[in-house]
Structure 1
Amino acid sequence: MRRRSRKKNAVLGVLLLVTVLYFLYPFDFLLTGWNGSAPKQLSWQVERLVSKESWAEQGDYLPLNVTYQLLAGTPSTQQKFLTIGMSSVKRKKGSYLVPTLQSLFSQSSPEERSSMVVVVLIADFDVRWVTSTVREINSTFASELDRGQLLVIHVSQKWYPPLTGLKRNYNDAPDRVSFRSKQNVDYSFLIHYSAGLGQYYLQLEDDVFSAQNFLTTIRKHIEEQNAKKGGWAMLEFSALGYIGKLYKSADLPLLARFLFLFYQEMPCDWLMSHFRQLMTQRETILFKPSLFQHMGTFSSFQGTYNKLKDMNFEEGLYTNPSAEVYSNISTYQKYFPKLAWDPGEGFFWGRSPERGDYLTVVFLEPVVVTGILVETGSGGKDLLDSGQVELGQDVFTAAMKSCKTFQSLGAFMNGKFEMREVDKLHGSASSCLRISVTAGQKDWVIIRKIRITTKSSAS
C-alpha cells in the first residue's frame, strides 16, 4: 500500500509540475507541440545585427532589458537598405496582417524585396491566436521567410512594465490608457530589435496597403533629403498615425528607449513627434502622394469602427511614362505644366485660360493608353470648367511639340476626367495626350494630377 501511495504521489507531483510549467510558460509548450522545437531565444550580440553607430548601444548606457523569441524566418547576416516594422495583436473583428504583408511584397520588384526585411512583432499573449497566426504566415510567405525578407518575433509578457493602474493623462479611460501604453512598449521592443537590420527603418501598422514600388520612391526621397543642408530625424510617407514614418537606424536605440521611458504619458504618434523635435527637426517633412493607405475597418482597440483614410494616397503612383509637357496657358510663378505629370505634390497653376488653350503631353515613346485620370482645382476652386481630353498621333515640332491628329475621349465633369479601358476605344499606340479648353473662364486653373496606365503596344 505504501509503494502504491508513493507511486501515486510521485505521479501527482509530476503532473502538478507539468501543469505549473504549462501555465508559467504556455507559449513554449504550445509551440513545441506544434513544430517540434521551442521558439528560439535570440542572442543579442551573436544573432542580431547591432548598430554600432549609436552611443546608446555601446557599453551599458540606458540598458533596455528584453529577450526576443524568433517564431519564423532567419535573420540575414547582411544589412539591408530598409527595415519595415509592424506589431500585430488579436482583433475582435477580423485580421489584416496577412493582406498587409501580401501588399508589401506584391507591390515590390524582386530587386526591391532583396533590399528590405519586414519584421513583425506578434504582440499578443493569446497562445492559440499566436500559434495560428504564425502557422498562416509560414504557409503564405515560405519563400520570403527562407530568403530572410520576413522575420516574426515575440516578446514574453514578463518583459513588459506595468500596464494597469497607470496615469490617466488627457482623462482617457483606464482601458484606453492601458491599450496605448502597451502599444508604446510594443513599438519600443520592435524598434529596439530592428536597429542595425537595415540602414533605414520604416514604421507601419498591420492594416495598410502599399503603393507600387514604394521602396524605390523612398530611396529617391532619402537621397534628395540627404543632399540638402541640415539634418533630419523623421521623414513621413503618410499623414496618418504611426504609418509610413521613416528613421535612420542609428537613431533607433534612442527612439526605442524614449518610447519605453514615456510609455504611459501619451499615444505613440505624439511621442514620435516629440522625439523628432528633440532631435532638432522642428518641422514635419511629409511627402505626397502618400505611399501607404489605411485599410482596416475595425480598430485593434475594442474592435471599434475606424474609417480613417489618407486622401493623398495613390496606389499606382508611378505608371506615367517619360514625356515632355507643354502649355500655352500663362504659368503662375514656378507652377510649371510638368508638375501635373510628375509624381509628387506639385501641380500646374495657370492664369485664366481661353477657349482653344491646351496642355499637351508628348510621350518620348508611343504607348497604348488603358486608363486616364485628370484632376483639377484645389478645395473646390480653380477648376477647369469646360474642357476635354484627347489622344494624338504623329509627333511634329513647331513652336512646341504636338501631334498632327487628335481623337476626343470625352469632357470634364466637375473639374475631373476619368476613363478606364481606353484601349477598347483607342487601341493603337498614342504619342500625345492633350487637355483642351473648350470655353474661356475668368478663374485661374489648377491641373493637380494627370495619371495614366498603359500596356505594351505589342500585347
Structure 2
Amino acid sequence: MVLNELTWQADRPVSMESWIDQADYLSFNVSYQLLAGVLPTQQKYLSVGLSSVKRKKGSYLVPTLKSIFSQSSPEEHSFMVVVVLLADFDVSWRVDTVKEIKSAFASELEKGHLLVIHVPQDWYPPITGLKRNFNDAPERVTFRSKQNLDYSFLIHYCAGLGRYYLQLEDDVFSAKNFLTTIKKRVEEQEGKKFTWATLEFSALGYIGKLYKSAHLPLLARFLFIFYQEMPCDWLMTHFREVMTQKETILFKPSLFQHMGTFSSFQGTYNKLKDKDFEEDVYTNPSAEVYSDMSTYQKHFPKLAWDAGEGFFWGRTPEKGNCLTVVFTEPTVVTGIFVETGSGGKDILESGEVEMGHNVVATDKEKSCTEFESVGTFENGKFKMQEMDKKYSSASSCLKIKVTATQKDWLIITKIRITTKLTVPHQ
C-alpha cells in the first residue's frame, strides 16, 4: 500500500531584512513541502521552530505543542506562529504524525498559528562517512550532523515569518505566558547600548534560544556550512561570538524545561532538567525588601524576591516578625506564591500575607502605613490567584508576617507575584 503524503511545494516567506535575501546572495537551494497548516499573510512577532524525528522510545511532540499553546493566551496565539519540521525520512511516520497533529490542533492549523513542513532527503548533503571530530562514533556523527542540517533548513524557512525566532526542541514544557515575558526581555535589551545576537531562556542545549529574524539567513548558512564539524549547541555559541556578542545573556527563571526521558539519538536515557525553570512565569516588579529578623550569613531578604537560586534565611523568628517588600511603583497584584523551608526544615509554621498602601520611609527602611491580610500559610506555602477580582486597587507593599514564635529558623525560598500582563504589539 502506497501512503499518500501531501507534497505541494511550500513558498518560503522572505522579509528582506537580511542583506543575504535582498539580492539572493549566497544562494541556498532547498525545497519545502507544506504538510499541514495555512501560511500566515502577515509577519508575526515571534516564530517558534522545532524539529522532530521518529524516536525509538516515546514521542513528546504533541505534548510539547500542547504546552506551547495551552500556556499562551488567545491573544498571544495571534502574535506567533509555530513551525514543526518533520525531519525523519520515514514517510509512514510522517503521515501518522501529521494525522495526529491535525486531530489535536485543527484550530491552530486553520488559523495559521501552526505549520508542519518537511524537506525531502534529496536536498540533504551526505550524512554518512563524515569526519569523526572528537572521536565520536560514526552513528553519533551522523545523528548530530543531520540535526544541524534539520535546524538549518528549519531556520531558513522561518526567516520571514516573525520579527524574532525562538528555537525549541520537540520535548519541552513551556512556562505560562512565555511570549509576553520574551517581549519584555527583548525590550529591555533593545534599550541597552550593545547589540545582541542570542538571548537564552533556558540553559539546556538548543532550547529557548532567541534570535533576530534578520540574522536567520546567516545562521541557517552557518549551520549548513559547518554541519559535520560539531553539535548544534556548540555551533550556536560560535555564531553568537562571530556576531560580536561575547557573553551569554541568560535569563532566569527559565521559560522552558526538558520533558523527555529518552533521547532522539538511539533512545538513550536522558535526565537533563533545567534547575531554574518555573512553570508559572512571575512578574516581580522592581522593589526593596526589608526584614526585622536577623539574617544568617549572606542570605539577605532580597534574595527571596529576585529570580535565581538565592533565598532568605532568618534566625529564630518570633511572633510579629516580618519580611516586607516595598514596590518601586504601586502595582496591581493578580497572584502571589511564597515558598518556605528546605527539605522540610525551617518552614514558616504559622504566618500570613498582607498587602499594604501608603509608603512611608525612615532612615533605615520603608514600609506602608496600612496593611490588610489576604490569607494564611499552609504547610509552609502560600498561593493565591485572581487576586485582582477582590483586591483591584494597586498595592505598594507585600508583607510576610510571622504569627507564632517558632524554634526553627526560617528560610523563605521564593516570593513570586503576577501582575497585569500586557500583550506585545505586532
TM-score for both structures, normalised by structure 1: 0.76
Shift of 1:74: 1.2
Q: Work out which of the residue numbers 197, 213, 218 in structure 2 matches 1:233.
A: 197
Report the AA paired with residue 390 of structure 1.
Answer: E
Question: Aligned to 1:51, what secondary structure does the other structure show?
Answer: coil
CA, structure 1 residues 223+392, in 2 after alignment: closer, same or farther (shift >3 Å)? closer
Q: Does 1:282 align with 2:246?
A: yes
What letter matches 2:205 in structure 1? Answer: G
Give the distance between the partners of 1:365 and 1:453, measured in 2 at CA. Answer: 10
Distance 1:403 1:295, change over 3 A: same
Distance change (3 Å), C-alpha of 1:50 and 1:352: same
> Which of 155, 166, 169 is the aligned partner of 1:205?
169
Match of 2:8 in 1: 40
Structure 1 residue 85 displacement after superposition: 0.2
Question: How far has the Cα of 1:58 moved from its partner?
Answer: 3.0
1:374 corresponds to 2:339: yes
Deviation at 1:31, TM superposition (A): 2.4
Any stretches of 5+ residues in structure 2 without a counterpart?
362-366, 420-426
Cα distance change on mapping 1:226 and 1:375 into 2, 3 Å: farther
Aligned CA-pair RMSD: 3.9
SS in 1 for 2:189: helix
Counterpart secondary structure, 2:377: strand
Asked whether 1:31 is paired with 2:4, we answer yes
2:396 aligned with 1:434: no
Give the drift of 1:307.
Answer: 1.1
Q: What is residue 381 of structure 2 aligned with on the other side?
A: 418
- Is residue 158 from structure 1 mapped to residue 122 from structure 2 by the alignment? yes
Per the alignment, do residues 450 and 53 of structure 1 end up closer, same or farther by CA in structure 2, a change over 3 Å counting? same
Out of 15, 31, 36, which is 1:67 matched to? 31
* Separation (CA, whole Å) in 1 of partners of 2:211 and 2:178: 16
| Whole-angstrom CA distance in 2 between matches of 1:41 and 1:74 | 13
What is the rounded CA distance, in whole Å, between the counterparts of 1:159 and 1:59 in structure 2?
22
Answer whether contact 2:14 2:159 (CA < 8 A) is retained.
yes
Matched AA of 2:63: P
Classify the secondary structure of the residue corresponding to 1:120: strand
Q: String of CA shifts for 1:388-432, please: whole Å, max 9, x gaps.
A: 432458979876326377976357xxxxx3367999xxxx98996
The one-character-per-residue Cα deviations of 1:208-263 (angstroms, maximum 9, x if unpaired) are: 01000000000000000010111000000000001000000000001000100110
Q: Distance in 1 between matches of 2:79 and 2:294?
A: 44
Say yes or no: does 1:311 pair with 2:256: no
Distance 1:53 1:72 in 2: 27
Instruction: Give the corresponding residue for 1:450.
Output: 415
Q: Which has the larger radius of gyration?
A: 1
Match of 1:171 among 135, 140, 143: 135
Q: CA deviation at 1:88?
A: 0.4
CA contact (8 A) 1:340 1:447 kept: yes
CA distance in 2, matches of 1:287, 1:127: 39
Distance (Å, rounded) in 2 between the aligned partners of 1:406 and 1:125: 57
Deviation readout 1:360-403 (Å, 9 max, x if unpaired):
3589799898x8442568xx9xx968764324589798763263
Asked if structure 2 preserves the Cα contact closer than 8 Å seen for 1:335 and 1:346, the reply is no
Could you give the per-residue CA deviations for residues 292-335 of structure 1, whole angstroms, max 9, x where no partner exists? Answer: 01111111111111111111001112387999965345899x99
Question: Is 2:354 aligned against 1:389?
Answer: no
Query: 1:124 deviation in Å?
Result: 0.4
Structure 1 unmatched ranges of 5 or more: 1-21, 23-28, 33-37, 412-416, 455-459
Shift of 1:341: 4.0
Structure 1 segment 266-415 matched on structure 2, within 5 A:
266-318=230-282, 326-328=290-292, 340-341=304-305, 344-345=307-308, 355=318, 357-360=321-324, 372-375=337-340, 388-392=350-354, 400-401=367-368, 403=371, 409=377
Whether the 8 Å CA contact 2:353–2:401 is kept in 1: the answer is: no
Aligned twin of 1:115: 79
SS at match of 1:285: coil
Q: TM-score, normalised by structure 2?
A: 0.81
- More off after superposition, 146-155 vs 402-411: 402-411
Once the two structures are TM-superposed, the CA of residue 40 in structure 1 deviates from its matched residue by 1.3
Q: 1:190 aligns with which of 154, 176, 180?
A: 154
CA distance in 2, matches of 1:357, 1:193: 58
Distance 1:384 1:396, change over 3 A: farther
* 1:19-59 residue CA offsets vs partner (Å, 9 max, x unmatched): xxx9xxxxxx6325xxxxx42112xxxx4321312122233
Question: Contact 1:387 / 1:435 at 8 angstroms: preserved in 2?
Answer: no
The equivalent of 1:53 in structure 2 is 17
Q: Deviation at 1:136?
A: 1.1
Higher helix proportion (structure 1 or 2): 1
Q: Separation in 1 of the partners of 2:332 and 2:413?
A: 24
Cα offset, 1:146, TM superposition = 1.1
Q: 1:375 to 1:182 in 2, by over 3 A?
A: farther
Residue pair 1:119, 1:194 contacting (<8 A) in 2 also: yes
Give secondary structure in 2 for the equivalent of 1:403: strand
Counterpart CA distance in 1 for 2:266 and 2:124 is 21
| Displacement of 1:350 | 7.9
Displacement, 1:358? 1.7
> Sequence identity, in percent?
64
RCO comparison, higher one (Cα < 8 Å, 6+): 2
Deviations 1:125-175 (A, max 9, x none): 111110010111112111111111111000000111111111111111100
For residues 93-119 of structure 1, the C-alpha deviation after alignment (integer angstroms, 9 at most, x for no partner) is 111111111110111111110000000
Mapped contact 1:117–1:149 kept (Cα < 8 A) = yes
Give the conservation status (yes or no) of the 8 Å contact 1:352–1:440: no
